[in-house]
Structure 1
Amino acid sequence: MRISPSTKRLLIGIFIGLVAVVLLALAVFQWKRQQLLTSALKLVKEKIERKYPVILTLGPAKFVGFKTVEIMGMSLVPRATPTDTLLTARRLQAGLSVRSLFAGRPVFSDLQIITARLTARKTATSDNYGFLIKKKASAAPRDNSKGTNYGMLLNQALETAFDNVPGEASFQNFFVSYSSPRHSAVLRLPELKIQDGDISGRMTATVDSLANKLGISGHIEPGDYALTARVFGVGGSVQLPYVPRRFGALVSFDTVLVRLDGKEFEDNDTGGRLTVRGSLAARGFSLYHPKLAANEIEVKRGSLDFIATLGRGTVALEKGSRITVNKIVLNPEIAIWTKPSRAINLSVSSEETPANDFFDSLPTGIFDEVRGTQGTGTLRYRLSASLDMANVDSLHFDSSLRGKNFRLTRFGEEDLNKLNTPFLQTVYNDRGDSVRTFAVGPANPDFVPYNEVSPYLIHAITTAEDPRFFSHHGFMEQAFVKSAIQNIKERRFARGGSTISMQLVKNVFLTRQKTVARKVQEALMVWLIENTGLASKQRMFEVYLNIIEWGPSKYRWSSGKRGVYGVKDAALFYYGKRPSELNLPESLYLASIIPKPKYARYSFDSYGDLRRSTRYFFRLIADIMLTRGLISDNDRENLPYSLHLSGPARQYMSFAPRPDTTRAVQQADSSDFEPLNLIDLLNTGAAPDAGVNAGTPEPPKDPK
């Protein structure tokens, strides 16, 4: 069929007309869409500036695709500090629903921020970000006299964070910095994405000069206040900032998984109560602090499933929380109060754990000497404690490890059975230098069997150091509590609380370092020895007598050996006698110097008399020994308070010969050294376990 030229011209004209109409429609659409976009961004600007005291400036905006908007530049400046810009971005892109735009309700999505900088600053008097976390207005003034409401503060922080998380977002070359008079932080994010709630990204974080390279992945549901985030080190472990500066500790991990399942905030007259549920889990966790342990404390896998409540002056870890350390599962309940006084309640119990799992799960760096220990049966640990700092004497502490069908089948790094066999003992001075190595057993001519020691010395030492040594199972909690109370009051380690069993384990198997790790490991080793019947009490005391320090480590004997170690050295050094020949006052004196043998030389005044503190010790211990039937009435009545040193110690002591003239008034006892440790028993009627290896109570003044 042939089309006439006139028809062709008509069809071409119609086509050109249609194209023109479409182009015109598109032009009108583009013009209208751009006009609506400008209006929409103006509304966004007005909305943000109504909500926050800021000035929002947006650069030129245009569509770069059918649903993609590009904004060339953005800045956010607080009105209070107009010269201090909080946020800038070189370019932003976002998805925009055309239907919502024409409907007058623009919906933005898939936000992309490219080359942005967030700069937060704080001075002594102001900041440029506080408006973001400003407290909500309250209908009634809050009462702050009962302490800070931690629940309200955390709730506000969570709501601020979750309410400002975009549904879809991508950050490229995002730079975040924070500075204050005390701290600084810089975060560099080459890329961070949030898509359908999924989070992925990497960053370099530098806090107070400590830099970490991190990777992040997870999922967030802002409406439910739910989050799962995995943070891991890139090319190495992650070290926590702030902790070294604030606490002098190093804390690091390979991977941490944080999960928040939700929150519940109950507003009330005290300002509100917040409950949060979630978990924390870590792999390759490491902690170092010189007061905790000599080496890093490491846990391969650990987790905390928590139900936490926070309120006015209170923070609590509720029942239902669970701590897992490798294969050991603990059920903790902790409550801390900051007002009206600082106080804490603590309860921890472990589930029954197979013995081998228990030993395999112990953190390295804190239980190294028992690593590799194996056994049959199960073990279970329990701890309860409470303390009110307004009444320190109310301290409660109860700790126990229980075995069920438990039996040791293999020793760890240290063979605890060596207490039953001859072994070599190396002793060290306070600098950690080796002083002397000697055999503990019959092969050593200086070794003294238990039955060749004066009963006076045995009873004097046990009465002063550990009244229930021959009947307890390694521990005396009442003595520990009394020691802890004094240490808390004086804010230092002013007093010990060790039983003879604990002193023995420390001297034979462990170092002299005063760390929490050594004390905890010491307790576990004592429990293993005492509760498995590994060594008899008599054998333990025999070893103890033959290894403890009793005088100056610098003293050199004619035989060439150095120091005064063991009961034979002590008897010869001070009295030129055999241990079996020691009388009551000689035994009391040797018992008095065990806690601090280096101060033995200061036991006498310049006239050769025993100082007041030592005389007080003599009277106190002798009275207790009499009450316990360890000495006779005649022994107590005829107890002298003078002492004749006939051994080499006489040349070592710090005193001068008594002058010929008689003094009308006795010189006061005012030494410049710390007094000897004395047992803290107020009278002879006190319970036999009222004190062990006690601190330094002030002796009563001599009557004038």
Structure 2
Amino acid sequence: MIKALLSKITRKQLIIGGIVLGVLFVGFIIAFAIVYHKREALLASTITRVQTKLANDYQIDLNIGRAYFSGLATVSLENVNVTPRGREQLAGVKHASVSVKLFPLITGDVRLGQLRAYDAHIRLMKKDSLSNYDFIFQEPDSAALATDDERLTEGDDSAINMARTINRMLNNVLYKIPEDMELRNFTITYHDDSTHQRISVPKADITNGNLTSAVFLNDNKAAWQVSGKLRPGKRQLYVKVHANGQRIALPLLERKFGLKLSFDTIETRLSEVYWTNNERLHIKGEWAVKNLLIDHWRIAQEHVVVPDAHIDAEVVVGEKHIELSNSSTVTVKKLKIHPYFRYTTFPTKTYAVGVETPEMDAQDLFDAFPKGLFESLEGIRVAGRIRYKMDAFLDTSNPDSVRFNSDMEQKGFKVNAWGKANIPKINGTFVYTPYEEEQPVRDIIVGPENPDFIPLNEISSNLKNAILTTEDPSFFTHNGFVEEAIRSSIATNYKEKAFKRGGSTISMQLVKNVYLNRNKTIVRKLEEILIVWLMESTRAVSKERMFEVYLNIIEWGRNVYGITEAARYYFGKHPSDLSIGESIYLASIVPRPKSGLYSFTWSGGLKPYILPYFRYIGNIMARRGLTPSDSSGDYGFYSVSLRESLRPERPVTIDTLQLDMPPTDFDADLEQMRGLLDRIFGKDSNQTENP
């Protein structure tokens, strides 16, 4: 084929082609000669532009003692200093030389070939509230920085093509990694009013992409070994950090944030970066750590040790979304988890989150828990097979449409030994200790031995139905969790931009009170969820017994615990005699029991602000057949009368405004409850709210 093509080329065409190539070659030589002779001027012009941009955009002075070409494509710099205006010097280097690769320059890519740096330093200084590095946290105008091909073409000129933007950012990092480097006497120091840290690197080399370095912390108190394989041109990196059998600690985190963090070895790998259909950018990598220790009072009461963890991750970036693929895998011992996350920016912002595990031996789940993470579950032994799947989706333009689904498949699951939690203990008499401000109040015997303990069948049905309606309407039918309550919680918390609603069931409240300590740590909620699942899925405790214990231990006022104490304290009654009005009132103060007395006037009646609550809850109970319909619509509101000895003194003048003022934003709390109960029961309950 090639011979046939050559045979068709005439001598005249060959001459013309040769002339064209010759002209191009001569033009290239001339251009190269011009650039070569003017390169010093070009270098000076480039430095001036950089200095001007740093000064204008970040108020940083860049001073260079001398800059010159020391080779065809090598620039040498001497006595370079970087100083934010009005602050301490940030960085400096006595001598550095940098060479760039020529061929990538043709396409506009600046890729480093060699880097030499001697006597370099970075000094991070903070005094009071001023630092010499705060410019780092200034937000750049990302829309202005994006190139034309990084913008979306769907009508919104300000929207960024995320795939091309991240690809450009990744290139900017990778292409600045030299394949050959010689670094000598490099130090990083951090100093503030209470902390001083120093990291020194006497020697770091990259030879043909092979990284070797030693890092010393605080004048050789700790020595780290850093090695790796760097192939930035192929978009591949591998770095390993260890300390020759010793633990690597980060004391700065402990001094600044109280976080103890240490490990034996950590490895990270960028294995592959590629495009599909020139639209989706795929980034694959790995991360592994051995004997990771985490200790912080907000995370767990005891330090948490992860002996071995490995993450295989694939991030996929498109024009309008970034996604952690569900092919990603987190491995801890024999436990494998496939997480999923997707964030979309256009046309509306949406979030999708998912977690899935393959079918596995149930014991593998509990064996994978790091030591110190879930104290109450230590020693548990289970049998059977399990598989878990959860997915959630939130459209920020319509938070109330949030989706949440959770499913735990079980095959022959059972508990052979309960460990520290001993969930079945509440089937008999036990001692419950309530806490106030992390201090024990008193011991309460939960059982017939306590004269204030009352069996479930002796408690007024008015009280039981009111509590179930307000706290957990589907308690006797759910498996410990109510997905509708979780969906409502997500929607409310997003709209409020704060944690306003938790979505706890009676099962979860019982577990929190009886089985868990009062340490407010992040993992306690996860521990609560696990114990609820164990209690409900194994039927270790009946629903009736759970509800009975719950009503006998929950707080209803200052040092008032259990329904017997509450009925006697507020109304001088036995729990079996509580009216519908008294029951709705007691249900209303469960979320904030210490504010209960504020609801009453000096005459013993309830303040007007609570009347809409009575009407709303009463109407729902009537619709469900839990109480007779009240034609007046007040459901016993006006018959509730506080015990006389608890009533405040009669004021000299009656301030009607104070009668209408709740202790907190009661209307907002009521609206949150409406949101959940309306989703469960429908909105017909509002139709008869006002008689």
Question: Would you call these one fold, judging by a TM-score over 0.5?
Answer: yes
**Paired residues for 1:407-426 under 5 Å:** 407-426=414-433
The partner residue of 1:116 within 108, 114, 119 is: 119
Inter-partner Cα distance in structure 1 for 2:508 and 2:201? 53
* Aligned equivalent of 1:194: 206
Post-superposition offset of 1:544:
0.8
Q: Does 1:603 align with 2:615?
A: no
Kindly state the Cα deviation for residue 408 of structure 1 after the two structures are TM-superposed: 0.6
Match of 1:670 in 2: 661
Equivalence map 1:222-261=2 (5 Å): 222-232=232-242, 236-239=247-250, 253-261=263-271
2:562 is equivalent to residue 566 of structure 1: yes
In structure 1, C-alpha distance between the alignment counterparts of 2:588 and 2:150, rounded to whole Å: 64
Name the residue aligned to 1:216: 226
Q: Name 2:14's counterpart in structure 1.
A: none
SS state of the match for residue 446, structure 1? Answer: coil
Residues 321-379 of structure 1 show CA distances to partners (whole Å, capped at 9, x for unaligned) of 21223332111221113455432111220112211110011244542221221100122
Alignment of 1:303-322 (within 5 A): 303-312=310-319, 314-322=321-329
Q: In the aligned structure 1, how far is the partner of 2:94 from the partner of 2:390? A: 54
Contact 2:151 2:157 in 1 (8 A): no
**1:171 matches 2:183:** yes
Query: Larger deviation: 476-485 or 524-533?
Result: 476-485
User: What is the alpha-carbon distance in structure 1 between the residues aligned to residue 188 and residue 453 of structure 2?
Assistant: 70
- Say if 2:389 and 2:406, in contact at 8 Å, map to a contact too: yes
What is residue 469 of structure 1 aligned with on the other side? 475
- 1:436/1:176 Cα in 2 relative to 1: closer, same or farther (>3 Å)? closer
Secondary structure of 1:193's counterpart equals: strand
Residue 400 of structure 2 aligns with which residue? Answer: 393
Determine the structure 2 residue equivalent to 1:483.
489
Q: Does 1:448 align with 2:454?
A: yes
- Give CA-to-partner distance per residue, 1:187-233, whole Å, 9 cap, x none: 53112233343322122479xxxx98532112122332211111235
Q: TM-score, normalised by structure 1?
A: 0.72
Say whether residues 1:347 and 2:359 are aligned partners: no
1:305: how far off?
0.9
Q: Which residue of 1 aligns with 2:572?
A: 576
Cα pair 1:239 1:250 within 8 Å, conserved: yes
Alpha carbons 1:615, 1:641 under 8 Å: kept: yes
Q: How does 1:323-402 map to 2 (within 5 A)?
A: 323-338=330-345, 341-402=348-409
What does 1:274-313 correspond to in 2, within 5 Å? 274-286=281-293, 293=300, 297-312=304-319
Question: Equivalent of 1:642, from 638, 642, 653?
Answer: 638
Q: 1:688 to 1:699 in 2, by over 3 A?
A: closer
Shift of 1:291: 5.7
Partner Cα separation in structure 2 for residue 444 and residue 124 of structure 1: 62
Give per-residue Cα distances to partners, 1:9-42, cap 9 Å, x unaligned. xxxxxxxxxxxxxxxxxxxxxxxxxxxxxxxxx9
- The amino acid across from 2:416 in the alignment is T
Higher percent of residues as helix = 2
Contact kept? 2:603, 2:647, Cα under 8 Å: no
Contact persistence 1:232–1:238 (CA under 8 A): no
Using the TM superposition, give the Cα deviation of residue 460 of structure 1 relative to its aligned residue in structure 2, in angstroms.
1.6
Change (3 A) 1:302 1:45: farther
The Cα shift of 1:390 comes to: 2.7
- Change beyond 3 A, Cα 1:158–1:576: closer
Match of 2:650 in 1: 656
Q: How far apart in 1 are the matches of 2:160 and 2:675?
A: 45
Cα separation, partners in 2 of 1:197 and 1:581, compared to 1, 3 Å: same
Q: How far apart, CA to CA, are the structure 2 residues paired with 1:571 and 1:512?
A: 27
- Which segment drifts farther, 188-197 or 153-162? 153-162
Quote how far apart the aligned CAs of 1:46 are: 5.1
**Secondary structure of the equivalent of 1:498?**
coil
For 1:683 and 1:138, locate their aligned partners in 2 and report how far apart those are by CA, in whole Å. 45
What's the counterpart of residue 627 of structure 2? Answer: 631
Given that 1:309 and 1:315 are in contact with CA atoms closer than 8 Å, whether structure 2 keeps it comes out as yes
2:688 and 2:252 map into 1 onto residues whose CA distance is 51
Residue 502 in structure 1 maps to residue 508 in structure 2 = yes
Answer whether contact 2:604 2:642 (CA < 8 A) is retained. no
Which residue does 1:9 correspond to in 2?
Answer: none
Could you tell me which amino acid in structure 2 is paired with residue 603 of structure 1?
Answer: S
Give aligned-pair identity as a percent.
Answer: 31
State the one-letter code of the partner of 2:266: V
1:50-91 deviation per Cα after TM superposition (whole angstroms, max 9, x unaligned):
699358757999xxxxxxxxx9x963869999xx99874569
Q: Distance in 2 between matches of 1:630 and 1:636?
A: 17
Aligned to 2:50: none
- Measured after TM superposition, the shift of residue 260 of structure 1 is 0.9
Structure 1: segments with no counterpart, 5+ residues: 1-41, 62-70, 95-108, 554-563, 692-696
Closer/same/farther in 2, CA of residues 80 and 535 from structure 1, 3 Å limit: closer
* Counterpart selection for 2:524 from 518, 522, 536: 518
- Report if the CA contact (8 A) 2:189-2:197 is conserved: yes
Distance 2:677 2:166 in 1: 53
Q: Is the 8 A contact 2:552 2:563 kept in 1?
A: yes
Pairwise CA distance, 1:530: 0.7
Write the distance in 1 (CA, Å) between the matches of 2:372 and 2:452: 36
Check whether the contact 1:254–1:285 (CA below 8 A) recurs between aligned residues: yes
> Match for residue 586 of structure 1?
582
| TM-score of the aligned structures, taking structure 2 as reference length | 0.73
Cα distance in 2 for residues equivalent to 1:666 and 1:115: 75
Q: Deviations over 1:670-690 (max 9, x none)?
A: 234343954856599956567
Shift of 1:478: 0.4
Determine the structure 1 residue equivalent to 2:612: 616
Give the secondary-structure state (helix, strand or coil) at the position aligned to 2:556.
coil
Q: Is the 8 A contact 1:510 1:518 kept in 2?
A: yes
Structure-to-structure mapping, 1:66-77, within 5 angstroms = 75=78
Q: RMSD over aligned Cα, in angstroms?
A: 4.9
Question: Secondary structure of 2:401's match?
Answer: strand
CA distance in 2, matches of 1:666, 1:222: 71
> Quick check: 148-157 or 212-221, which moved more?
148-157
Is contact 2:291-2:305 (8 Å) kept? yes
Distance 2:145 2:197 in 1: 24
Alpha-carbon distance between aligned partners in 1 of 2:38 and 2:207, rounded to the nearest angstrom = 25
The question of whether the paired residues in 1 share the 8 Å contact of 2:459 and 2:576 is answered with: yes
* CA distance in 2: counterparts of 1:347 and 1:643, whole angstroms: 50
1:159 maps to 171
Tell me, yes or no, if the aligned pair for 2:40 and 2:69 is still in contact at 8 Å: no
2:438 to 432, 443, 460: 432
Aligned amino acid, residue 411 of structure 1? W
- In 1: Cα distance, 2:375 partner to 2:368 partner: 12
Report how far residue 423 of structure 1 moved.
0.8
- In 2 relative to 1, CA 139–470 (structure 1 residues): closer, same or farther, beyond 3 Å? closer
Gaps of 5+ in 2: 1-34, 48-63, 100-111, 125-131
What code does the residue aligned with 1:565 have? Y
Cα pair distance change 1:405/1:225, threshold 3 Å? same
Distance in 2 between residues matched to 1:48 and 1:700, nearest whole Å: 84
Instruction: Report 1 or 2 for greater relative contact order, CA contacts < 8 Å, sequence distance ≥ 6.
Output: 1
